[in-house]
Amino acid sequence: MSLRARASERVECRGSMMTPHQTAGAEASPPNVIASADDLSRHYALRGGDVVRAVDGVSFKVQRGETFGLVGESGSGKSTVARLLLRLERPTAGRVVFDGTDLTRLGDRELRRQRRHMQLVFQDPFGALNRRKTVEQIIGLPLKVHLGLKGEARATRIRELLDLVGLRPELGNRYPHQMSGGQCQRVGIARALALDPEFIVLDEAVSAVDVSIRAQILNLLRDLQQRLGLTYLFVSHDLAIVRYMSTTVAVMYQGRIVESGPRDRLFENPLHPYTHSLMSAIPVPDPAEERARSEKWVDRADEAGAVPKTGCRFRARCPLGTMSEKCEKEDPQLVEVSPDHRVACHFPQSAESIAIRLSKSTDANADGCGDVPSLVRTPELRQT
């Protein structure tokens, strides 16, 4: 089970996000874009006439060979976006273009043909595998269905795939319950690779495995990407893992992308209060740093209650959200603050500047709410 854990050179291409109005004629998108979401929405109707806007006007492009990281809490809509991208679910509005084809217009048969090129790895390694089938049968099924492979040809390919994900060939005869979580997740990855896809959606693929195994799987995924030229959509709630895996990152909150950009730019200068809150909440294996956490600001995730229907959706949890009428009335749009780095916030700023504001407002009996515009110091914020 030795992993080819080499230091891998990063693939040199970045994703670029776009605002809805930029995306006319996406079919003619440049060949280095493999998948794009174009003002994508998915709403669910509830009994009583209410509507859940699970995904609400999301646009982005995934470049060939990159890892596009989608991060957010449960309920942010990140998994729904992943499913929409694979057309496992139909969007309420908007389009998904994969490799130049508008998936939202495809019929069932064409869609099935298209699915070969796009695969999915699930979160729960046990739940994703049929417990009554052996590993060989599990990995062999797509080979049979899509490629019509039989007999020795199929067996050879199965061995190849097992080897690729670092599993010994004898494991082919095992059932899922006879394997560990890490091994099952490798089987899930092997199955996703069976048809030689270009694009793989990893939906919380390492969230359910232990720390030590997680590192193995992350390294395996990066190694496979290098060797096979794969493109990943990496969905996770863990910002640290998303940072490690991705070239481009989009942070989702309540069905919207609230901040996005090239990995380094976003992590060096995060500007949305929600991104700050996700970052500051990650537990660090350092006792001194952890104890100091309570002094840092972590948003009121629990107590916030319902998501506001007007204005900024994050404002109930935001330390600045009640400071301006603008937050209550105007829904912030994604605005480019530096090349490809976009933020949907009326008052984007660093965590330090939020901390300073908070300490000031508690000092001054919290009445210094009128001077909000002075928050914005970054000159380039003004242009779009």
Q: Which residues of this protein are in contact with another protein, per CB under 8 A?
A: 1-3, 5-10, 73-74, 180-183, 210-216, 218-219, 222, 237-241, 243-244, 263, 267, 277-291, 293-294, 298-303, 305
Angle value at C-alpha 234, between 316 and 176, nearest 5 degrees:
115
Q: How far is CA 359 from CA 5, 106, 325, 353, 365, in A?
A: 46, 55, 21, 10, 10
Q: Which is nearer to another protein, 279 or 372 (CB)?
A: 279
Nearer CB in complex with another protein: 175/244: 244
* Torsion 313-315-320-324 (CA) sign: positive
CA dist 205 → 124, 180, 222, 258 (Å): 8, 15, 13, 23
Minimal distance, residue 238 CB to another protein, in Å: 7
Residue among 278 and 334 whose Cβ is closer to another protein: 278
**CA-to-CA distance for 367 and 378, rounded, in angstroms?**
24
Nearest approach, Cβ of residue 377 and another protein (Å): 25
Cβ proximity to another protein: between 59 and 246 the closer is 246
Contact 73, 252 (CB under 8 A): no
Cβ pair 189, 220 in contact under 8 A: yes
* CB contact at 8 A, 123 and 205: yes
CB nearer another protein, residue 196 or residue 290: 290
Residues near 266 by beta carbon (within 8 Å), at least 6 away in sequence: 249, 251, 259, 260, 275, 341
Q: Which is nearer to another protein, 118 or 167 (CB)?
A: 167
What minimum distance in Å lies between the beta carbon of 54 and another protein? 16
* Residue 33 vs 129, nearer CB to another protein: 129
Residues 270-287 as b/e (b if ≥16 CB within 10 A, e otherwise) read bbbbbbbbbbeeeeeeee
In whole angstroms, how close is the CB of 273 to another protein at the nearest point? 11
Q: How far is the CB of 179 from another protein (least distance, A)?
A: 9
115 or 186: CB nearest another protein? 186
Which residues are CB-neighbours of 352 under 8 A, at least 6 positions away? none
Shortest distance in whole angstroms from residue 265 CB to another protein: 13
Closest approach of another protein to the CB of residue 269, in Å:
14
Instruction: Find the shortest distance in angstroms from Cβ 97 to another protein.
Output: 29
Q: What angle do CA 301, 311, 318 make, to 5 degrees?
A: 30
Query: Closest approach of Cβ 233 to another protein, in Å?
Result: 18
**Best CA proximity match to 314, nearest among 257, 242, 261:** 257
Distance of CA 123 to the CA centre of its chain: 13
Of 113 and 168, nearer to another protein (C-beta) is 168
Tell me whether residue 12 is exposed, middle or buried, using C-beta atoms within 10 angstroms of its C-beta: 0 to 12, 13 to 18, 19 or more.
exposed
Nearest to 194 by CA among 154, 150, 235: 154
